[in-house]
Amino acid sequence: MDNILILNRQGTNLKSFIKFWAKLYDYDNNTYKEYIHKKINSENLNRLFQWKNGKDGKFSDSQIIFLKKIRIGELNKLRNNSFENIEKKLEYITTGIIWKIFLMHILNPNEIPIFDRHVYRAYSFIKFGKITELPTYNKTKYKEFKEGYRKFFTELKQETNLHHKTIDDALWAYGKFLKSYSVLLDIK
């Protein structure tokens, strides 16, 4: 038994890092790929939010309320608009910040990254050398996204020239790994 693998710390460049961790992404991307560029209507939007929600795709009461607040008729006009314009048009959404950011991502997936606890953990560790969990309060979450993570993600895209979903997959997998195995790596 000489071919047993262990985890090993090994430095690499950013592009190789992203490609490595993207391969370890274990979440179904088929729904995302099928619906992300389709015309926005209730059904397509629900499919994307079910995908974002996870394996069972069931919505909580607060998520159902969030979806009912969305003014679907306006969304197709916002496709591929600037972050600032999308942000202004969605000012009326003040709760469910992670979902609001995902809605913004749907409107401009190339410029607005997906944001959640796993990618935030990866960002925090890569950028600051420590594992930090996503803040609790919506205003703080949104500020972290807008002023920190979004800029970081844009820099990764520019430096690596990789597709936004490849980078998201890598950060998600790495952040999930950090949550589960930080003790093994002696990081906190």
First-residue to last-residue Cα distance in the chain: 33
With H, G, I as helix, E, B as strand and everything else as coil, classify residue 71.
Answer: coil
Q: Check: CB of residue 57 under 8 Å from CB of residue 51.
A: yes
**pLDDT score, position 165:** 96
Contact indicator for 101, 145 with CB cutoff of 8 Å: yes
Chain CA centroid to CA 103, Å = 11
How confident is the model over 85-141, as pLDDT tens digits?
A: 999 999 988 889 999 999 999 999 999 999 999 999 999 999 999 999 999 999 999
Residue 183 has a pLDDT of 62
| Alpha carbon 155 to chain centroid, angstroms | 15
Supply the DSSP symbol for 143.
H
Better-scored residue on pLDDT, 1 or 18? 18
Question: pLDDT tier at 79 (50, 70, 90 boundaries)?
Answer: very high
d(CA 84, CA 104): 10
Least confidently predicted of 7-16, 84-93, 126-135, 143-152: 7-16
**SS3 letters for 86-104?**
HHHHCCCCCCCHHHHHHHH
Q: How far apart are CA 98 and CA 114, in angstroms?
A: 8
Residue pair 150/93 in contact (Cβ under 8 Å)? The answer is no
Residue pLDDT, tens place only, 18-31: 999 999 998 888 99
Contact 106, 134 (CB under 8 A): no
Instruction: Say what the pLDDT of residue 111 is.
Output: 95
Position 188 pLDDT exceeds 60: no
Query: Is the pLDDT confidence value at 83 over 60?
Result: yes
> What gap in Å lies between CA 146 and CA 19, rounded to an integer?
25
What SS3 state is found at 170?
helix
- Token pair for 61: 């009461």
pLDDT of 58-68, one tens digit each? 888 888 888 88
